[in-house]
């Protein structure tokens, strides 16, 4: 029997695998406005990627649970905002879709990334056995807790991706721990199920 919700989450897993994560080591102002910088890849610190403020794209997971639109240059509707980002700080984590430019690797589009989203990405793409979870082991409650920001923390310009701990935990319960009932008990954003079904019909059944 087909399970369109689970199948659509598999599509999310497939689409998210192309995201890369990097830490800013240089950030420079550009005249008359904006900034640019360089970041070292989290999984390969010897490699660098260029980014600039004009390519910043801020996801809104209340509107779209897929990052497929993030890679498009001209169209960023359906859940993707284009605000003016605060200037990147040294050591800050960014995430996005890469491409090879004339001078090396660059972010085609990027956003500030919270620690919680990085944990979710590893959980969905690599599973709970990934080394990032070694300090907490395979305990389900501990892994779910790693997807929510610490109490009293502020998103600042860690990115608005700290706004969706319930969605992160629901994705984990559905896709990784296969607990449909537990996921339904969490508060899901409006349209979550419809978005899953749309992904299933668009990407899985085409």
Identify whether 40 is part of a domain. Answer: yes
Between CA 18 and CA 68 the distance in angstroms is 10
Between CA 188 and CA 63 the distance in angstroms is 12
User: Is the pTM here over 0.85, yes or no?
Assistant: no
* Same domain, residue pair 23 and 100: yes
Identify whether 51 is part of a domain. Answer: yes
* Same domain, residue pair 131 and 169: yes
Instruction: With a cut of 70, list the residues of the chain below it in pLDDT.
Output: 1-9, 60-83, 151-165, 179-206
* Same domain, residue pair 104 and 145: no
pLDDT in the model for residue 186: 59
Question: Looking at the 3D structure of the chain, how many domains does it have?
Answer: 2
pLDDT in the model for residue 1: 44
Identify whether 206 is part of a domain. Answer: no
* Same domain, residue pair 143 and 179: yes
* Same domain, residue pair 97 and 120: no
Closest listed residue to residue 18, CA positions, set 108, 91, 79: 108
Q: Is 44 exposed, middle or buried (0-12, 13-18, 19+ CB in 10 A)?
A: exposed
* Same domain, residue pair 38 and 108: yes
Identify whether 168 is part of a domain. Answer: yes
| Element of type H or E holding 27 | strand 20-29
* Same domain, residue pair 45 and 56: yes
CA 32 from centre of chain? 30
Identify whether 171 is part of a domain. Answer: yes
* Same domain, residue pair 23 and 91: yes
Radius of gyration over every alpha carbon of the chain, rounded to an integer in angstroms:
17
Between CA 170 and CA 21 the distance in angstroms is 23
Instruction: Find out whether 86 and 66 touch, Cβ atoms under 8 Å.
Output: no
Given 52, 87, 112, the domain boundary residue is 112
pLDDT in the model for residue 72: 42
Q: What is the distance between the terminal CA atoms of the chain, rounded to a whole angstrom?
A: 18
* Same domain, residue pair 139 and 153: yes
Given 51, 86, 112, the domain boundary residue is 112
pLDDT in the model for residue 69: 44
Between CA 124 and CA 176 the distance in angstroms is 7
Coil, strand or helix at 44: coil
* Same domain, residue pair 24 and 75: yes
pLDDT in the model for residue 39: 97
Instruction: Find out whether 151 and 196 touch, Cβ atoms under 8 Å.
Output: no
| Element of type H or E holding 93 | strand 93-101
The boundaries of the domain holding residue 37 are 19-112
Given 55, 83, 112, the domain boundary residue is 112
């Amino acid at each position: 029997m087909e399970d369109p919700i689970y199948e659509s989450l598999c599509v999310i897993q497939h689409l998210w695998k192309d995201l890369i994560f990097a830490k800013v080591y240089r950030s420079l102002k550009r005249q008359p406005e904006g900034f640019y910088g360089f970041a070292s890849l989290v999984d390969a610190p010897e490699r660098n990627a260029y980014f600039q403020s004009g390519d910043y794209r801020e996801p809104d997971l209340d509107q779209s649970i897929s990052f497929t639109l993030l890679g498009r240059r001209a169209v960023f509707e359906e859940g993707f905002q284009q605000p003016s980002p605060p200037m990147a700080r040294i050591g800050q984590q960014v995430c996005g879709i890469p491409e090879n430019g004339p001078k090396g690797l660059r972010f085609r589009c990027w956003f500030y990334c919270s620690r919680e989203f990085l944990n979710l990405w590893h959980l969905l793409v690599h599973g709970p056995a990934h080394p990032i979870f070694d300090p907490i082991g395979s305990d389900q409650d501990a892994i779910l807790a790693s997807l929510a920001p610490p109490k009293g923390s502020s998103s600042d310009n860690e990115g608005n991706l700290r706004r969706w701990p319930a969605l992160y935990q629901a994705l984990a319960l559905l896709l990784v721990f296969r607990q449909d009932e537990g996921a339904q008990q969490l508060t899901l954003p409006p349209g979550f199920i419809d978005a899953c079904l749309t992904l299933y019909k668009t990407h899985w059944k085409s």
